[in-house]
Structure 1
Amino acid sequence: MAVGKGRLEEALRIADALLTRDATHIDALEIRAIVHTRRGERQRAEQTLRAAIAAAPDRCWHYADLARLLSAEGRRGDAEAVTREALAADPDNPDAHAMLGNLLVERAAPVPGAVHLRRAIALVGKHPVLIGALGHALLRQGRLDEALPLLEQAVAATPDALLPAAHLAELQERAGRFAEADRHLQRADAIARRAGRDMLLQRTTLMVRMGRWQEALALLDAQDGMAGPALLQRGRLRDRAGRHAAAWADWTAGKAAIARASGRRYPAEKVADQASALTRFFTADRMATLPRAPVRGDAPQPIFIIGFPRSGTTLVEQILASHSAVRAGGELPFGRELRAVAANMAGGEERFPEGLASAGGDWSAKLRDLYLARADQFGLLRSGARFFTDKMPLNDLWLPLLRLAFPQSPVVFAQRHPLDILTSVMAHDMTHGFDCGYRVADAARHFALVERVRAAYGIAGIAMHTLRYEALIADQRAETHALMAYIGIEMEAAQLRFHERETVSPTPSYAQVREPLNARSLDRWRDHEAAWQPFLPILEPAIVDAGYAL
């Protein structure tokens, strides 16, 4: 009653009195959490909500309130952990499924995000918010035909909601239906203005797709105090206009702003320790003694596409998936999942990977079956294709586990000039590589580390086919033929017209891979050569070893 009437002090005194007699009084904990939240006392609210979870782990409300609180603070990893706790306590908690689904989509994991959103819909019905969220998840996967009716339903049911209108406009832009995109964006603009927001980034993205990039740049140049994503967009356009120093300044400022807002940070020491442990263990001698899973003839086989983000992994997938025997799987999270399972098989994190040497049973076959079971959940085993692609960037680290689980599966390494790769990384927001892409030094160090790890795996006998971006541009037919010979199937003519595929890639490359091959992005790094000079001591070994010049 006191809370409902806004008498927060009175409500807090009542709650404190009840908790003095019983520290686990769940109603009193709820009242205290509400009061602290409304007063902006977030640390106290968090403490109270965690106490409520400990007192009544079978309830639902405190998980949801805590996850919302943490998400509002930018602590999305902590919020995700809370939603997983909620589902461990109650697998049929619809709020937890919905929140986890949205959090996964936000951190660029739309496929598992869609799984949780579908579960929430199965539990509570086709609520417009859930339908819109699922449409967003499918949009992020590039499954535009499936996302379209869901987003249209959400817009019709909630005409004053910004997100479904904005997502519908984005879908139409990605599909190349620019007039429809503009119509929906005007609607989203009106909603945003009423809330004191703007659609500047999406508006300029549409203008660029329509060939009006100079107008988009002029619009962005006139803005002050832009958020990180808009700074990245302006930087890309300034770079296109030849204003390279200003572009680099926008990229570094934009990345720093995103990192501050999201709390993303590259754990350099932890990653280096993990990489060292992996390369010490997975040697040629060790790989010869570890169990290899037999091929399962009842399921299509994965083709692993590895490489750093912006190296051409999306392009390779488009070429492969243009073949009638190959289905695009996209950025599948199974590699990291196998690593977590393998750690348990080894006896825990502290014994991974060394403990695998004494792990009992045919653990590689268990990893294979887990991977295929997850692929089946994602609908990849029922397409009738012989192969499906797994193009998660930087799966390179888990390559020994993937090779032991699938000893006959093709591995394709997308290679490109390292400085071209990293210049593109700086121009885009991406969370791959343990959030290495938010500082130039971190991106350079992680690139060099991954190159050393992959080289060590090659020495250990893990074979792969290297598809060099520059060679592909020089002779598309010959390189595509060599790629398919490695896969073991005949090249098809459609693969030379990969840009005509109707499916839209969910990555930042979605517009580029709908164009024929071109050389526009070759040697782009030279426009920023001065900015790269301080980092060449880190990168030069990888550049030289790959056969590139400075």
Structure 2
Amino acid sequence: MPTTIDSARALLRAHRLAEAEAAARRLIAEDPGSVDAREILVLAALARQDHAAAEAGLREILALAPDAGWARDDLARLLLDSGRPAEAEIEVRAAIAVDPGHADAHAMLGAFLSGRERLVEGAWHLRRAIALAGRHPQILANLARNLMRQGALDEASAMAAEALRAAPDLLAAAVLVVEIAEQGGDLDAAHRALDHATRLAARAGRDTLLLRATLLSQGPQWQEALALLDALPAMSGAARLLRGRLRDRAGRHGEAWADVVAGKAALAAAAGRRYDKAAVEAHFARLAAITMPDAPRPAHREGPQPLFILGMPRSGTTMAEQLLSSHGRIRAGGELPFTAELEDVAGRLTGSPFPQGFGQLSAADHHHLPALFRDVYLGRAEAYGLRQPGADFFTDKMPLNEIVLPLIRVAFPEAPLVAVRRHPLDTLVSIMMHDMTHGQDCGYRIEDAAHQLAAVSALTETYRNRLGIAPHVFCYERFVADQPGETDRLMAHVGLAAEPAQARFHENRRHAPTPSYAQVREPLHARSIGRWKNYEEQLAPILPIVDAAMQRGGYRA
């Protein structure tokens, strides 16, 4: 009987892999361009768990048929399963370039971008996938998680509920319903939803203990959460970090510090995160040597302008944004990625990575670049919906934007700059209590966080003294002591009169999608001031590192 594609496929379905492969090779010998025969070889390789052979086969198919969307999808999934997400994303983007109506590729790219915190772009692709392929529960759940992280809790809640109605056994959607309710402050609804999620998790051989403890930790039953975690024989890094925060709340400070150090180490190891001190020092040395270019100031473009909130993570930047965005003429932008993108644009257009090529802006044939930087940034803001009429400003509170202040200044010479200042030791304790990747992954060891804080403090002092870039200092402790006075001084810097709603910034209905989301819903209090004193012994080794930064701010240990 002659070999046919159908007979080769029958052999494959019968799991007679060697015979199916031999048949496929005979077909390729007869027709070297046979995509169907190569597909059989790929499927046989996957059945044998031979990922290298499957990858090679898929790449051969795409060389023969670049528009074979199924092959590119399979290759992307194979690369992702092999721990190569960057290569998988390249294939997904190529699939969309070939076929803009490729729903699976949009869904995958949306998931990739969301995982990298490119939330607005990720949401666009997930919405596109839904428009093309329908309201599939998993895509709805992925979009709901993205929207939750953007702070759009109402839409996220509706979408997660829709996903769960369509697929009542979808654990990811059930967990999302709990998390969205908790972040929105509806703890009763979160507890009700947790019961369903717990039943689904049990069927899958998983548990919801960490989710339950997280939920309990947000209310008056926080001691139950601590007891639940204390009883665990083994803990993940995230669970240990949560127990550290609860032990801190219970006054068990020595145990709390041991937990956060161990929890952070486990999280860093699991994600492969490491702070490169030498690389940071070399980069900051280049930044400190910057000279402001002799280039024309870009003209003002009408519409809402950026208002930059600067500061270390956990220094009070979220509180400052809530205060500012309680004003009727200021729109909250959150942690925008635009300045990092400007660094890439500057590097490409000057021919050298920022800041090495910054001086090129003084050349006449580069005088147009500051205006181009402005337009790139504002174009991205328009795509995020931040330039719509009805506001004078939108906030950009990406932590550590102050590192690229010279680049911000050439693009926006008149933009308000607000530097949030808090006792460095309180800031460092709070950084250690939460999982965050800002600052080149400095937050996983107290020594690294202290080094980053000190380096940023020294750099911004250089900018102030050498370049004349002097942001308004918004002091956390002074704000707690004199809320009206500090608010008036802040708004005078912005150029707007303070409004009564700013005195009740904790009532701001906007959800702040940061670890501070619960704190900024509370009225102003002084409980976090001087928290570092509970950890004097643990902080003693890093005092020499941050001594100069403390002196600049007028703080003492």
TM-score normalised according to structure 1 size: 0.91
Match of 2:542 among 505, 510, 535: 535
Residue equivalent to 1:518: 525
Residues 1:219 and 2:225 are matched in the alignment: no
Match of 2:358 among 349, 353, 371: 353
Q: Within 2, Cα distance between the matches of 1:495 and 1:220?
A: 38
Stretches of structure 2 that go unaligned for 5 or more consecutive residues are 1-8
1:128-139 superposed matches below 5 A? 128-139=137-148
Q: Within 2, Cα distance between the matches of 1:265 and 1:89?
A: 38
Q: Is the 8 A contact 2:35 2:64 kept in 1?
A: yes
Q: Is the 8 A contact 1:134 1:147 kept in 2?
A: yes
- Greater shift in the superposed pair: 76-85 or 529-538: 76-85
- Greater shift in the superposed pair: 431-440 or 486-495: 431-440
Quickly say closer, same or farther: Cα 1:189–1:372, change in 2 above 3 A: same
1:56-71 superposed matches below 5 A? 57-71=66-80
1:109-128 superposed matches below 5 A? 109-128=118-137
Q: Is the 8 A contact 1:95 1:120 kept in 2?
A: yes
Q: Is the 8 A contact 1:342 1:356 kept in 2?
A: no
Residues 1:499 and 2:523 are matched in the alignment: no
Match of 2:299 among 287, 294, 305: 294
% identical aligned pairs: 50
AA aligned opposite 1:217:
L
Residue equivalent to 2:159: 150
AA aligned opposite 1:253:
A
Q: Deviations over 1:521-545 (max 9, x none)?
A: 1122222222223333322222222
Match of 1:409 among 415, 418, 424: 415
Match of 2:111 among 86, 92, 102: 102
Residues 1:261 and 2:267 are matched in the alignment: no
Q: Is the 8 A contact 2:361 2:367 kept in 1?
A: no
Q: Deviations over 1:445-473 (max 9, x none)?
A: 22222222222222212221111111111
Quickly say closer, same or farther: Cα 1:349–1:30, change in 2 above 3 A: farther
Quickly say closer, same or farther: Cα 1:96–1:418, change in 2 above 3 A: farther
Shift of 1:65: 3.7
Q: Deviations over 1:239-277 (max 9, x none)?
A: 111222222222222222222322333344444333332
Q: Is the 8 A contact 1:74 1:262 kept in 2?
A: no
1:174-253 superposed matches below 5 A? 174-253=183-262
Shift of 1:499: 0.7
Q: What is the number of residues matched between the two proteins?
A: 545
Residues 1:396 and 2:402 are matched in the alignment: yes
AA aligned opposite 1:408:
E
AA aligned opposite 2:187:
F
- Greater shift in the superposed pair: 488-497 or 515-524: 515-524
SS in 1 for 2:308: strand
Residue equivalent to 1:327: 331
SS in 1 for 2:199: helix
Structure of higher CA gyration radius: 2
Quickly say closer, same or farther: Cα 1:36–1:245, change in 2 above 3 A: farther
TM-score normalised according to structure 2 size: 0.89
Q: CA RMSD in A?
A: 2.8
Quickly say closer, same or farther: Cα 1:453–1:56, change in 2 above 3 A: farther
Quickly say closer, same or farther: Cα 1:206–1:455, change in 2 above 3 A: same
AA aligned opposite 1:213:
W
Q: Deviations over 1:73-120 (max 9, x none)?
A: 555555445544554555544333322322333343423321222232
Quickly say closer, same or farther: Cα 1:127–1:201, change in 2 above 3 A: same
Q: Within 2, Cα distance between the matches of 1:533 and 1:337?
A: 38
Quickly say closer, same or farther: Cα 1:488–1:198, change in 2 above 3 A: same
Q: Within 1, Cα distance between the matches of 2:343 and 2:531?
A: 35
Q: Within 2, Cα distance between the matches of 1:440 and 1:77?
A: 30
SS in 2 for 1:303: strand
Q: Within 2, Cα distance between the matches of 1:217 and 1:111?
A: 36
Quickly say closer, same or farther: Cα 1:454–1:9, change in 2 above 3 A: farther
Quickly say closer, same or farther: Cα 1:301–1:221, change in 2 above 3 A: same
Residue equivalent to 1:366: 372
SS in 2 for 1:389: strand
Match of 2:342 among 330, 333, 338: 338
Stretches of structure 1 that go unaligned for 5 or more consecutive residues are none
